[in-house]
Amino acid sequence: MRVARILVIVFLLSLPLAFGFACDDDDDDDAPAAADDDDNNDDDDNDDSPAPLSFCAVDESEIDAILDRLTLRQKVAQMYYTAVNVFPWFDLPEAAYMVGDVQVGGIHEVVALTLGFWPSWTVQNTNKLQNIALNSDAGIPLFIGIDQEGGIPQMMTGLTGGTDTPGNMGLGATFSPDATRLAYDLMARELHETGINLSLAPVLGVMTDHEEASMYTRCFGENTEWVSQHAAAAVEATQRNLVVATPKHFPGQTAAPGDEHYVRAVSEHSEAEIREIYLPPFVAAIEAGADMIMPTHARYAAWEDEYPVTLSSRMLTELLRDELGFEGVIITDDLNMDAVAGIDWGELPDVLAIQAGADIIIDIFEDFEARDAGKAGDYPSTIAEQIDYVVGAVGDGRLTEARIDQSVRRILNLKMKYCLFENPFRTVEDVPERVHRPEDAELSLALHRQAITLLRDEDALLPLDVDDRVFVITTGPLVTQMYPEATWPQMTIKTLLGPMQDIDPDVTGMIYGGTPVGFVADMLVDAAAASGADLLVIGTYNAYFDEVQQDLVNRLLALGLPTVMVAQAMPYDLMVFPDVGTYVASYSNRGLALQVTAEVLYGLSEPGGRLPVALPGMYEIGWSAALD
């Protein structure tokens, strides 16, 4: 299994070399004024989504009976959520072992490991996993989950048979919670139809610092009140489709600079600031009925001198449960991250998290712990061994079986409420009629038209004319940084060049993958200089944080051609290229976002979005050159 994962990762990371250079790609707390702008809410009253599905009745006596028949080890196993390989073309024993023998309670759908590359394949995989679980000694259906945040960090995408959506930052640019409701309803319906019953979304960070490099387009924006409204809409829309929503990362990860995958992030904000700015979206999510919440691995100095939120009873039990009244399931983020796994806490983090109040332990890639040798202590690293360790902690009094029962009761309650005991299976035959339907794509296109934002057009270059000779230089379909400092590959179907060529076949250009250095950068600049173009279009991807990309763009700008710049992730790129006269923010580099961006460039669609974050010293939240 480990070898298979390594091969998949190596394959994905090597892909940029395959298209390093290619031509002609085919393929403040006051509400902003935008809230009342009719142009921004064209679809608000057109909710054509089907009626919500009904939750199932929860039978406490049946839960009592299940708890009575489960062994302690089976109970603890229900508290573990991991990933397995279910490739269909060869039979690996891992799924049968982890689900059937270890009897974990949840499985994470990982592209190329458990998520299929088309919907019917995904249904086959989820059905297989549920069948193994129900035929195990425990006989309890699985939580099957996915990171379905929308936009850039969206796992079921156009590439894997789903429908791309604008993502949180794009939805924030609509200033319409109804747009968020439509997008999350679409995503959750597609998850439900493929047997996925848990979405590790939405992210509820409030983007208060443009230098904080871990959440970015995963956030709705920087205005607490607006983020709270989007939070409630996302939770309601997800759970109406019998998919558990998981607001994250409590109490607001953007308050703690740094990426917990690699560093021990700490928030130095006062308790008053956390409560005023970062906590309200989670309060809104709880009031909207959120049944699961994920804490961050960051530490909040106002509450804790030692532990991150994941391991803190002050944060999980006293604040989240006792004060805020959250009665649902608390699920940790992956405990393999350096912020937890890279430190010796004097105890297995799993035990500390359960003591603090967590109900489900996420351990996606066992044996992939990011620990430096000897740093985290000598603790078990496989799921089976970790379960045995927790059972041992009950045996010697560090945990009680009553505490385990408390979490397992919450888990069983949720599985029963979301009808997993009644029927966790989906039919394969008519999946194409239920997932990524033409009307789904049309809805998402409409949402993207509400999101795309024109920040400036001082040179009056828009709309482009098909008689203009246009040369495009943009990132390719695979980027190795989903957001700044991350190392996860993120692949799309199209690049900006393709949709522009769909409108004007005479458009030429080049794309690049990986880091545009050396001869690759020289080739791109030379090609632009020799193109004879009247106008240059440059697609950037978080160039604000990428000095190599900045160097390339500055060399292109030095050619002196009239230039349109498109930020395909965060809009902060304009801050490092302040002299660019025409600037569009798409908030995403996925296919539908770039299709609408091309339409905007050629005047075929109006850019309906407004900035959901401020560009310090340039533009305030709510700004749009098209709407102001």
- Counting every residue written for the chain, the total comes to 628
DSSP 36: G
Whether the per-residue pLDDT at 266 is higher than 90: the answer is yes
Task: pLDDT band for 366, please (50, 70, 90 cuts).
Answer: low
**Encoding tokens for residue 124?**
């086959």
Would you place residue 115 in the very low, low, confident or very high pLDDT band (cuts 50, 70, 90)?
confident
In angstroms, the CA 552 to CA 394 distance is: 58
Instruction: Say whether the peptide bond before residue 202 is cis (omega within 30 degrees of 0).
Output: yes
Distance CA 566, CA 575 (A): 13
Please list the alpha-helical segments (H only) found in 135-241. 167-174, 177-193, 224-239
pLDDT of residue 573: 95
Q: What is the pTM of this model?
A: 0.92
Per-residue pLDDT band for 375 (boundaries 50, 70, 90) equals low
- Strand 143-146's sheet: what is its strand order? 244-245, 198-199, 143-146, 106-108, 80-82, 360-362, 329-334, 292-295, 248-250
Q: What is the spatial distance between Cα 394 and Cα 44, in angstroms, rounded to a whole number?
A: 52
203 phi/psi in degrees, rounded to 5: -75, 130
CB 115 within 8 A of CB 83: no
Question: Which residues are catalytically annotated?
Answer: 261, 333
Provide the pLDDT confidence category of residue 44 given band limits of 50, 70 and 90. Answer: very low
Question: Residue 13: is its pLDDT beyond 50?
Answer: no
- What is the tens place of the pLDDT at every residue in 159-189? 889 999 999 999 999 999 999 999 999 999 9
Residue 457's contacts (CB-CB under 8 Å, 6 or more residues apart) are 581, 582, 583, 625
The span from the CA of 475 to the CA of 21, in Å, is 10
**Which of 394-403, 407-416, 423-432 is predicted least confidently?**
423-432
pLDDT, average across residues 524-550: 95
CA torsion 614-605-591-573 (nearest 10°) is -30
**Does residue 347 sit in helix, strand or coil?**
coil
Neighbours of 18 (CB within 10 A): 10
Please give the structure tokens belonging to residue 187. Answer: 């995503």
Q: Render the burial of 297-310: b for 16+ CB within 10 Å, e for the rest.
A: bbbbeebbeebbbb
What band does 90 get if pLDDT is binned at 50, 70 and 90? Answer: low
Nearest to 439 by CA among 40, 42, 39, 49: 49
pLDDT of the residue at 9? 38
Task: List Cβ neighbours of 90 (8 Å cut-off, separation of 6 or more).
Answer: none
For a pLDDT cut of 90, what percent of the chain falls above it? 75
| Average of per-residue pLDDT across 338-359 | 94
**498 three-state secondary structure:** helix
Q: Quick check: 118 pLDDT over 70? A: yes
Beta-carbon contacts of 204 under 8 Å, excluding residues fewer than 6 positions away, are: 219, 220, 227, 231, 247, 248, 249, 250, 252, 281, 282, 285
436 has pLDDT over 70: yes
pLDDT of residue 486: 67
Tokens of 412: 């069983």
Query: Is pLDDT of 472 > 60?
Result: yes
Tokens in use for 525?
A: 């600049």
Q: What is the pLDDT of residue 3?
A: 35
Phi, psi at 208, each rounded to 5° = -95, -10
Angstrom distance (rounded) from CA 389 to CA 395:
10
The H or E element spanning position 80 is strand 80-82
pLDDT tens digits, one per residue of 217-227 = 999 999 999 99
Can you tell me which residue has the tokens 């309890």?
Answer: 140
SS (H, E, C) 546-585: CHHHHHHHHHHHCCCCCEEEEECCCHHHHHHCCCCCEEEE
Q: Which amino acid is at 595?
A: Q
Of residues 21 and 152, more confidence is placed in 152
Mean pLDDT, residues 381-410: 97
Of 30-39, 117-126, 319-328, the poorest mean pLDDT is in 30-39
- pLDDT at residue number 251: 98
N-to-C CA span, the chain? 55
Q: Residue 6 belongs to what H/E stretch?
A: helix 2-14
Asked whether residue 17 carries a pLDDT value surpassing 50, the answer given is no
Instruction: Look up residue 103 and give its two tokens.
Output: 């009897």
- Taken in order 316, 318, 324, 327, the sign of the CA dihedral is positive
Q: Which two tokens stand for residue 179?
A: 């747009």
pLDDT number for residue 20: 36
According to the model, what pLDDT value does residue 483 have?
63
Measure the CA–CA gap between 200 and 334, rounded to whole angstroms: 11
Average pLDDT in the chain: 89
C-alpha–C-alpha distance, residues 109 and 591, integer Å:
22
* Alpha helices (H) in 106-166, listed in sequence order: 119-134
Helix H, strand E, coil C: the string for 267-329 is ECCCHHHHHHHHCHHHHHHHHCCCCEEEECCCEECCCCCCCCHHHCHHHHHHHHHHHCCCCCE
Tens of pLDDT, residue by residue over 574-610, are 999 999 999 999 999 999 999 999 999 999 999 999 9
Q: Tell me the pLDDT tens digit for each residue of 456-469.
A: 999 899 999 999 99
Give me the amino acid identity at 226: W
Contacts of 114 (CB under 8 A, 6+ apart): 83, 84, 85, 86, 107, 108, 125, 129
pLDDT of residue 493: 81
CA distance 207 to 214: 10
Confidence of residue 94 (pLDDT cuts 50, 70, 90): confident
- Tell me the mean pLDDT in the region 558-573: 97
pLDDT, position 214:
76
